[in-house]
């Protein structure tokens, strides 16, 4: 009888378990990583951060601050999940990069191997361009303002797409369409071109490193850059590009992720997005959306919340199309950041699945 009683949870224990489940459900992957970083201690955490790129450093730093108020039970649960995951791993991946590089060089020779490795191993690209990841958009634009459009296109291709969009905004308006055209037409960058870029980096930062054939740009990169531009800039660049190469402009446009593509996001992803978007901004964005997109969001609200949301949205009255488009672009930027962080999966194209 005593054993049977032990199996019955009290109301308080049930409530505590439900609270813990809710707390864990609201945590992102980055926040879970932040918990582990805080548990490691300063020295070990600093050693790990050295291997992260600027975007990852910023995301992880913000998450480390945001998890300060987590319950001890949630911290324990995150640590248990990590230990369980590690137990499932094997040592098969240890040293894989060096092994693959040696095999390809032996089979193809240094030059051909460098070209292939540049495609399948992003880290094999030019190290001299890494410094750009730590610069702000205005500084990068000032540095490359006088460079050939092809050089500018390569540099934009190696930047984070949101940063590249800001850099594009600071460049002369008459060059933007040609630069995006060149980004879209990029496939590989040969050593001679990389040497020229290295020379620019060396001149600016007295930093030199070896050049290898690398894979940059392409339609997807051009479309991603355009996804992050403001509405006015997008219209200007795409208009100029339509005069230079109408077919290419259409291909870029086809690869851009639009607000309507949110119908391809699963319900969990929509809920994550709604938690990260201000209700007022979402109301404005949905004003110009199709009924299918609206229902995608309304279907992830409670009946009471849905009624209040619709009432507030209707109360806003007519809105300028430009304001609606700007709101949708802002929401899409948030969605892209969440997707890059692994918190949701964007649908609607091969590159987003």
What whole-number distance in Å separates Cα of residue 171 and Cα of residue 148? 12
Provide the whole-model pTM: 0.41
- Residue appearing with tokens 């991603």: 224
Q: Domain check: are 285 and 344 in the same one?
A: yes
Residue environment code for 76-86, b if the CB has 16+ CB neighbours within 10 A, otherwise e:
ebbeeeeeeee
Whether residue 247 is found in the same domain as residue 276: no
pLDDT of 81 strictly over 60: yes
Do both 223 and 263 map to the same domain? no
User: Is the residue at 206 inside a domain?
Assistant: yes
β-bridge partners, 214: 189
Q: Does some domain include residue 246?
A: yes
Query: Do 29 and 71 belong to one domain?
Result: yes
User: Given this model, what pLDDT does residue 278 score?
Assistant: 93
CATH number at residue 347: 1.10.220.30
3-state helix, strand, coil in the chain (%, to 5): 75, 0, 25
Residue 100 CB-density burial (10 A; 0-12 exposed, 13-18 middle, 19+ buried): middle
Helix intervals (H) in 209-302: 219-227, 231-244, 246-255, 267-276, 279-287, 291-298
Q: What are phi and psi of 215, to 5 degrees?
A: -100, 120
Is position 94 within any domain? no
d(CA 78, CA 26): 12
Please check whether residues 235 and 279 belong to one and the same domain: no
Q: Quick one: pLDDT band at residue 118, thresholds 50, 70, 90?
A: low
| pLDDT at residue 123 in the model | 47
Domain assignment present for residue 294? The answer is yes
Please state the domain count of the chain.
Answer: 3
Same domain for 242 and 280, yes or no, is: no
192-217 pLDDT, tens digit per residue, is 666 666 666 656 554 433 334 445 56
Residue 107 lies in a domain: no
> What contacts 40, CB < 8 A, 6 or more positions away?
48
Q: Are residues 225 and 272 in the same domain?
A: no
Give the domain range for residue 152.
Answer: 125-255
Residue 106 lies in a domain: no
Instruction: For 258-294, write each residue's pLDDT tens digit.
Output: 788 888 888 899 999 999 999 999 999 998 888 899 9
């Amino acid at each position: 009888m005593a054993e049977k009683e032990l199996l019955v949870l009290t109301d308080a224990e049930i409530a505590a378990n439900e609270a813990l489940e809710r707390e864990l459900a609201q945590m992102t992957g980055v926040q879970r990583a932040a918990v582990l970083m805080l548990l490691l201690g300063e020295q070990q955490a600093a050693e790990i951060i050295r291997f992260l790129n600027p975007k990852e450093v910023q995301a992880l730093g913000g998450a480390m601050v945001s998890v300060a108020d987590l319950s001890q039970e949630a911290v324990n649960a995150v640590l248990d999940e990590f230990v369980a995951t590690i137990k499932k791993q094997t040592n098969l991946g240890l040293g894989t990069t060096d092994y693959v590089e040696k095999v390809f060089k032996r089979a193809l020779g240094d030059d051909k191997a460098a070209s292939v490795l540049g495609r399948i191993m992003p880290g094999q690209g030019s190290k001299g361009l890494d410094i750009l990841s730590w610069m702000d958009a205005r500084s990068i634009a000032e540095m490359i303002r006088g460079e050939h459009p092809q050089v500018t296109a390569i540099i934009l291709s190696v930047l984070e797409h949101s940063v590249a969009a800001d850099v594009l905004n600071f460049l002369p308006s008459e060059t933007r369409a040609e630069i995006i055209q060149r980004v879209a037409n990029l496939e590989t960058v040969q050593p001679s071109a990389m040497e020229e870029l290295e020379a620019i980096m060396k001149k600016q930062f007295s930093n030199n490193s070896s050049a290898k054939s690398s894979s940059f740009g392409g339609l997807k990169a051009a479309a991603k850059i355009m996804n992050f531009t403001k509405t006015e800039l997008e219209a200007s660049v795409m208009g100029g590009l339509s005069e230079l190469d109408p077919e290419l402009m259409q291909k870029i446009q086809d690869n851009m992720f639009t607000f309507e593509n949110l119908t391809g996001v699963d319900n969990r992803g929509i809920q994550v997005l709604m938690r990260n978007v201000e209700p007022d901004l979402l109301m404005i964005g949905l004003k110009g959306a199709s009924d299918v997109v609206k229902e995608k969001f309304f279907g992830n609200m409670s009946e009471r919340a849905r009624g209040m949301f619709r009432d507030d949205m209707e109360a806003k009255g007519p809105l300028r199309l430009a304001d609606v488009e700007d709101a949708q672009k802002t929401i899409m930027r948030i969605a892209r950041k969440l997707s890059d962080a692994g918190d949701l999966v964007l649908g609607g194209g091969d590159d987003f699945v």
